[in-house]
Structure 1
């Protein structure tokens, strides 16, 4: 055999051998090394499975949980919406190691450890790199960026949601949008109404008017496409990515996500060009997704709980009439709605947005009790802490707004990591005040006009789609307080 022929055979073999070694290093050696390292520090968890990690287990547990009925006497949604996390926390303790494919994830639910990570000032904890589909949802918006880009965008967002901006620009637009919704409700008294969809229209209208000076009709396509893209992203999270093969061809979900991404960008750019502003498309998508989805969820679950608990509905109504009478809410009064704040905080604890602490360890870091390897992901889901009986008591799954009668600090025993529906630390939700203000205005104006009872047709099935949503909507029957309501 000639030297040239030997070379032709040897070179591909060398490339194959190098690729095989790299593959085994990334998909076998590294996961087993991390697993051994964490086990030696007392951190256990479901064992790593070659390539798939724990994804098959997660999928099976989610399917099983989705078939189980739920009652409304106890608001214990954790085993249903995050069954794998709930099960493994009970099996392995408050901190455990699991595997999203080849990616190691350290799930933490000790408040002290969560706080230690958030207080770390050495820039060792970074935002995780999004999946390919995830990057199409938020791109380089405020949620995803790091460093100087984040500082710059955060300053702009802080200015947009400043107190004076809320009073002068946003609150009047919210009131006008709620009036439009209530006008649409006239004539529907004592009939079943699907309020989750109604609040979807309301919050879409509000974010369109306040952020872009447009109407819901202009933003309707954007919301529809964002909803579809969100479903694709959630579906993609626990899919196993086969190395090499996944880079050679596009899945049907990826193709659809690219089409949705282009459609969203075109629609947003059209609105931006009408205003002649230099807004960023990815930032606009963030406003649409968070500004609409989080408030929609908060309003829907609050109305559900008030429809069940008539005593708290009456307490909230009395407070609203004492503060505003029959007039529209005003900024000074909104800030003084103590009972409403208690009710909303308890709603956020039980059915809050699925925010949490998601960080990637940029380099090996020494914490007080643990040494964390580089590139491991840290996950602290607020649903785990919000449903912890050691933090909230044996009645943790009951709706009891009186927990917050003396404020959040007293309710959490001054433990900030025990309650963080809008995130914690410097990267907490910049629109938190706007979201709660919008919800208070809408609830106040509804309570001024109607009493609410839950329809017998309602089926309680919360599902996780970016936020926790009712799978079959929320059906409520409204009865007018006054004939001219």
Structure 2
């Protein structure tokens, strides 16, 4: 009986420690370092308040002429409200986990100064929650392992390797445009292009990452990753609350099941490619082929990736590679549909650069105006609406110290829509702001524009995204003009990424 009582007491103490003692200690430590914020109520922290604020906020605006690009108060209503009381740097709580909210670029600059990429990690709660989707891929891995992963992966994104992938992008996009032609010829009045773009981006990433057709394993991986995304988003309402996965057992099991199915598919692809590694084919120019070659070459240096790590990197490529690009193109089509003058500007530029030939890799760097448009789209509707970090060491910021282990939530949407950084036209679609300043668009602080993250952990695949964006958009613009359908409902929403929750229906008109 005494042993049972001791065990019960031990379990009770662990619960009390996890739910109240540990978070209270962290709360007062942060307060002593000068970081305030909305008052938490453990063990839920600020989750209940966040839900209440979100429910009271209208998340949809009317389509057509009433479209507003002032989206921060819709997609992150609680942060917009708390900023008014606590400024642009404060601490809020997801369950018992403190998160330092940051929308101040000068604070971010000071925080990042002199801190190596490997000194930043990912919040533990997000690593655990999203493990079935990303595992220990480059997005989540930390420390010396991050350095090793980065060393193996970076060479895959050299210009010569990217050039070899461009023809695959043209091939998949041309197929999609043929489908649009067929739909228009059959009398379909409008096309919901976001779903088509997403499917084509999935096809492109299947080919460029793994050398597999979209009607093979590629489609299955993309579909299961999409299902995983929805499952994780729907089940992460209590992220940060101890033992929260026990409260959502079905969704936890669904995520694990999907994770195992995805792993099995990717292991099969990797095994086949390993067996054919010494066979010289065009497929060896896809990301997996390049990764396997680099892995083989670095074996003597002890810098290889294990098969498990290769699977996790494949999942990261699949999700990040098609999601970010598809959303950037979808938001671009919406904005160009509202601004036909920019459709004309881009068509003129494409014609001048291509001399009426098919756009290829060598021409992409000359599409300057398209680069302005891309940056302006990523400013207004960044597919990656936030960046998360965890301090792996104490970090001095001005006269305050961020304690080791503190989670950070960097609000990209807030900084991209900050009037003090961008001026009174902050909510207007003005690609020309990037003409004189192609990198920062005239932003008053260089840390105020970060479509691909910042510092040493900036997105390694950003050049692949920019290449695919320009190729796909060029092909669309040379084949069609388009306008927004009256049925378009402007409802940006966060489902890990920033996406149009009701798609992007367009009225398309063939140009040839």
1:235 aligns with 2:227: no
CA root-mean-square deviation: 2.3
Task: Tell me by how many angstroms 1:473 deviates.
Answer: 0.9
1:4 is aligned to none
- Partner in structure 1 of residue 457 of structure 2: 427
CA distance in 2, matches of 1:201, 1:349: 24
1:170 alignment partner, SS class? helix
Question: How many Å apart are 1:138 and its aligned residue?
Answer: 0.2
1:113/1:245 CA distance change after superposition, 3 Å: closer
Gaps of 5+ in 2: 278-291, 293-306
Aligned equivalent of 2:28, options 19, 24, 36: 36
Pick aligned residue for 1:341 from 363, 366, 371: 371
**Alignment partner of 2:146 out of 146, 150, 155:** 150
**Equivalent position of 2:86 in the other structure:** 92
Question: Are residues 400 and 242 of structure 1, via their aligned partners in 2, closer, same or farther at CA, if it must alter by over 3 Å?
Answer: closer
More off after superposition, 428-437 vs 347-356: 347-356
What is the correspondence of 1:150-229 to structure 2 with a 5 Å cutoff?
Answer: 150-167=146-163, 169-189=164-184, 191-218=189-216, 219-229=218-228
Post-superposition CA distance 1:325-351 (Å, at most 9, x none): 332112232101111111111100011
Shift of 1:113: 1.6
Q: How far is the alpha carbon of 1:371 from its aligned partner? A: 1.4
Q: Which residue of 1 aligns with 2:494?
A: 464
Please give the per-residue CA displacement for 1:439-467, whole angstroms capped at 9, x wherever unaligned: 11111111111111111111111111121
Q: Is the 8 A contact 1:355 1:422 kept in 2?
A: no
- 2:135 paired residue number: 139
Q: In the alignment, is the contact (CA less than 8 A) between 2:492 and 2:498 conserved in 1?
A: yes
Judged with a 3 Å threshold, the aligned counterparts in structure 2 of structure 1 residues 367 and 425 are, in CA distance, closer, same or farther, namely same
TM-score (norm 2): 0.86
Verify the 8 A CA contact 1:200 1:292 in the aligned structure 2: yes
Once the two structures are superposed, the pairs formed by residues 67-146 of structure 1 within 5 Å of their partners are 67-70=59-62, 72-121=66-115, 124-129=119-124, 130-146=126-142
1:240-270 deviation line (CA, Å, top 9, x unaligned): 66646856x8611011011101111122222
Any conservation in 1 of the 2:440–2:449 contact (CA below 8 Å)?
A: no
**Cα distance, 1:244–1:310 mapped onto 2, change above 3 Å:** closer
- Give the 5 Å matches for 1:216-365: 216-218=214-216, 219-239=218-238, 243=242, 251-276=249-274, 280-365=310-395
CA contact (8 A) 1:100 1:238 kept: no
**1:45-60 correspondence to structure 2 within 5 Å:** 45-60=37-52
- Asked if 1:442 corresponds to 2:472, the answer is yes
Matched positions, count? 472
- Tell me which residue corresponds to 2:400: 370
For structure 1, the 5+ residue unaligned runs are 1-7
Question: TM-score normalized by structure 1?
Answer: 0.91
- CA spacing shift, 1:224–1:60, aligned 2, 3 Å: farther
- Go from structure 1 to structure 2 and tell me whether the alpha carbon gap of 1:348 and 1:182 turns closer, same or farther (over 3 Å shift): same
Shift in Å, 1:101: 0.2
Judge conservation of contact 1:101–1:241 (CA < 8 Å) in 2.
yes
Asked whether the equivalents of residues 120 and 391 of structure 2 are also in contact (C-alpha less than 8 Å), the reply is: yes
Report Cα offsets for 1:145-164 as digits up to 9, x if no partner: 11232222212221111111
1:61 matched to 2:53: yes
CA contact (8 A) 1:31 1:48 kept: no
Aligned residue in 2 for 1:3: none
C-alpha deviation, 1:39, in angstroms = 3.7
Cα distance in 1 between the residues matched to 2:454 and 2:484: 33
The 8 Å contact of residues 360 and 376 in structure 1, kept in 2 or not, is answered as yes
